[in-house]
Amino acid sequence: MEKKSNIIYVYSRKMAVADGVQVLADPETTKEAGIKFPVYLTEGVFNQCVKVPKSAKGKQTESGRLWDILSMFRHSAVGNPSSFLSFEVKVSGRRVQLESTIGPLDFDDPAPAITIFLPGED
């Protein structure tokens, strides 16, 4: 007889967004980039790749930097049958390795969502 397990605790995506651990990419920009599912960035990706440093203020925008990530993701994802993807994006003249996965939006919502993260992040 199979034993049932009770869930003790779940850290949901909603909680991660509320805590700032994940950031929802702008849905309009996501759609314009040709991505049909919601995209979430980890705090690390947002801070390192989207947030504009003081030295680049006036020269770059968060929306432009987000566009670069989403367009490179989309370009790399075309034809990739895996739920995991590794890709590069150029940020302020340097190459940054990013990873992504597609899976359920949340523990209670099976709709697909994409998460983009730095190598080594959960």
User: What are the residue ranges spanned by the domains of the chain?
Assistant: 20-117
Q: What pLDDT was estimated at residue 26?
A: 96
Work out the average pLDDT over 91-116. 95
Q: How far apart are CA 90 and CA 94, in angstroms?
A: 5
Residue 7 pLDDT grade (very low, low, confident, very high; cuts 50, 70, 90): confident
pTM of the model: 0.90
Residue 85 pLDDT grade (very low, low, confident, very high; cuts 50, 70, 90): very high
pLDDT at residue 1 tops 80: no
Chain segment 50-82, per-residue pLDDT in tens = 999 888 888 889 999 999 999 999 999 999 999
DSSP string, 33-98: TT--S-EEEEHHHIIIIISPPGGGBTTB-HHHHHHHHHHHHHHHHTT--SSEEEEEEEETTEEEEE
Question: For residue 60, what are the contacts with CB-CB under 8 A and spacing of at least 6?
Answer: 52, 92
